[in-house]
Structure 1
């Protein structure tokens, strides 16, 4: 292979190669990629390589990648959490299947007396399972969209084991923060999504990581976070959102320093 790296220059990204003698070969390979980016050899290589970077093209110049590219954007861990979330949301019928839902909340909603007695008695899955519960269609659609996008990027760059630990640890922490803030009546992947946002945000601020976060997306997510605290958009897991973002920022800063 050819050693390369990307550097942003104004509104574009420039690809540099270490070996100038390989310039012709690299140019030909780039042309092949741009003509067919969904070719299996490129999609597979993006997961076989531990460190990857994203080439950002203008909308009018970017070739259509289609379903194959969309599927390969996420790794096995990201796909698994998306599929589990969809399955549990369907099985609980957006929380209306009370008998199943009460086994997945952090505490039984109908016997709760102010303590996490179920977890103390060994039902440890309750620390995690609230992230899979969603009570509205738009709730799960938006969460899964961001999980697929941000989680896929983190999994590709940091690895599947890292993302698995990240989601589980953030899920537990944000669930506990939300519980101690409002009680056990909550669910959703939003805390994890905001943590991924915070992580990618911090990683994108360090040169050479390959991360890029659109400022418009970041601004939109922060505005949505603030609106949640105003009460305009109804009951929402604000504590999980804010704590998730802060935990994600801490993860990102810590990883930047570790490298």
Structure 2
């Protein structure tokens, strides 16, 4: 069982946001929780307990100053943000998957990436799960059909995926993408035997992960621009209501989108509790 040490016991009206940010900059993993009419700041060992108390004492005596920003931090434009190798690899594979249907008119290469096997002679999908071909659980996320499809998914992969990779590392993002892709592709396949593809289910999974994390770990919240989640959730409802067909945008893999969002929320909840342990 993990043991925690109470470093500070303070009134609820004392704002610890800036002090908490300072602690994270110092590499001090901690957790702030309200209990009764007090707020308790806990750390993982006695050494950190003394470190926190010393920093707080210096802050109160005026020896230490925390610079306050005059205005809320604005998110940098998407193209100005640096992304790690995992986002770059996923993006390049998605671009390749968008070019493949245009370059491979016979669909021989495309048939290797679909969830359901494609019979090239009849042009029909075979209603059989990819037993013995486990890559098919994941590869549909790289297939994209049209410029708008890859542009939409690519931008959100750069924004949301890059946000997660910068904060939590490439392996965390990769594991999240693989789990959400497999879950959303299988959910879509259970609804209908059809040719589907795209990173949208993963994108909604990344959104769900960030929303759950920000809700449960506000001290370490991802810098998600206000209104982004609202717009994306409204678009999900528009697609599920069938308005995309009326707009001439064709069929949308709504099950993949919704199941990706749910899977991301569940993974965000799990990660927020697993990472409560001191680093």
TM-score (norm 1): 0.73
For the 8 Å contact 1:191–1:245, the answer to whether it is kept is: yes
The total of aligned residue pairs comes to 213
CA contact (8 A) 1:105 1:184 kept: no
- CA 1:176/1:58 → structure 2, altered by over 3 Å: closer, same or farther? closer
Which residue among 87, 101, 109 is the counterpart of 2:110?
Answer: 101
Structure 2: unaligned runs, 5 residues or longer: 1-15, 24-54, 246-250
Q: Which residue of structure 1 aligns with residue 235 of structure 2? A: 224
Q: Is the 8 A contact 2:117 2:126 kept in 1?
A: no
Residues 1:257 and 2:273 are matched in the alignment: yes
In our comparison, the structure showing a higher alpha carbon Rg is 2
Deviations 1:99-129 (A, max 9, x none): 221111012233533212xx22x22211111
Give the TM-score taking structure 2 as reference length.
0.68
Structure 2 distance, partners of 1:226, 1:114, is 29
Give 1:7 shift: 3.0
After TM superposition, the structure 1 = structure 2 runs for residues 206-225 of structure 1, keeping only pairs within 5 Å, are 206-225=217-236
- Superposed, 1:96-245 pairs within 5 Å as 98-110=107-119, 111-116=124-129, 119-120=130-131, 122-205=132-215, 206-234=217-245, 235-245=251-261
Question: 1 or 2, which has the higher helix percentage?
Answer: 1
For 2:171 and 2:21, the matched residues in 1 are separated by 29
Distance 1:58 1:244, change over 3 A: closer
Gaps spanning 5+ residues in structure 1: where?
A: 1-5, 9-13, 32-54
- Moved >6 Å (runs of 4+): none
> In 2 relative to 1, CA 229–16 (structure 1 residues): closer, same or farther, beyond 3 Å?
same
